Amino acid sequence: MPSLLKVLRRSTHVCVHASVQRKTRNALRLKVYMAGCKALRRYLTRALTLLTGLSFLVVVTTLLAFGGGRPDQYWPFVFPAFVLGSAGAMLTYTHTNIAILQVAPASIAGTVGANFNGALELGSAVGFSAVGSIETSVEATHGGPKEYHGRAAAFLFLLGLVSLEIISVSSLYQTKTDHLPQPKSDNPVYDNTAVQQSKEQTDEMNDVNHGANMNNSPM
């Protein structure tokens, strides 16, 4: 029994120590990432930051489309693609959320963010299906799954999508809103007639009570 307690105590200590180390690493990564975002924000506008992240993704999809099918291509093609892909995806996702919330009124910011993330989930589902279909279709006529042609075609498809996103951001993003404060709108709860009448009645009662207190106060 004492030996079992020692084993449990040691296992708990190891798990707690590993959890602390993992949280420390995650916090360090977050600090480095936030410092990098602040540095980019100091020198680049929001649109240029988004275009930088998307440009990283263009490089990534190009590298993986034309290299990565052989073991000797890991370091020159796959590893740089992993690094640039992670950085580009984080930049694009983070600053897209910031840009959306910056131009949306505070009263509907939650709805706008939910719609954006819902669109991302839908796009991911459709994108996975399209990529899988392209890969299997090419593999059926070009050597099967052992060859890299199917995956290369899938990455070329992603390259086309990212290029379309760059064109969309370049032509549709309004840079004049980058440094403007978040717009304000009327509280939608006051658009309700019953709520508005209740608010007016409360104000009238407060005015009556205030007048009664003034009349009863000693001169």
pLDDT tens digits along 114-170 = 999 999 999 999 999 999 999 999 999 988 888 999 999 999 999 999 999 999 999
Q: Class of the 44-172 domain?
A: mainly alpha
Q: Please report the pLDDT score of residue 42 as a whole number.
A: 75
The burial class, CB within 10 Å (0-12 / 13-18 / 19+), for 41 is middle
Helix (H, G, I), strand (E, B) or coil at 191: helix
pLDDT tens digits along 73-114 = 999 999 999 999 999 998 999 889 888 888 888 888 889 889
Q: Is the pLDDT assigned to residue 49 strictly greater than 70? A: yes
Helix (H, G, I), strand (E, B) or coil at 218: coil
Q: Is the pLDDT assigned to residue 70 strictly greater than 60? A: yes
* Mean pLDDT of all residues belonging to the chain: 79
Average pLDDT over residues 20-48: 72
Q: Is the separation of the CB atoms in 183 and 103 below 8 Å? A: yes
HSE toward the beta carbon, residue 192, CA cutoff 13 A: 7
| Lowest mean pLDDT, pick from 41-45, 54-58, 99-103, 135-139 | 41-45
Q: Residue 36 is which amino acid?
A: G
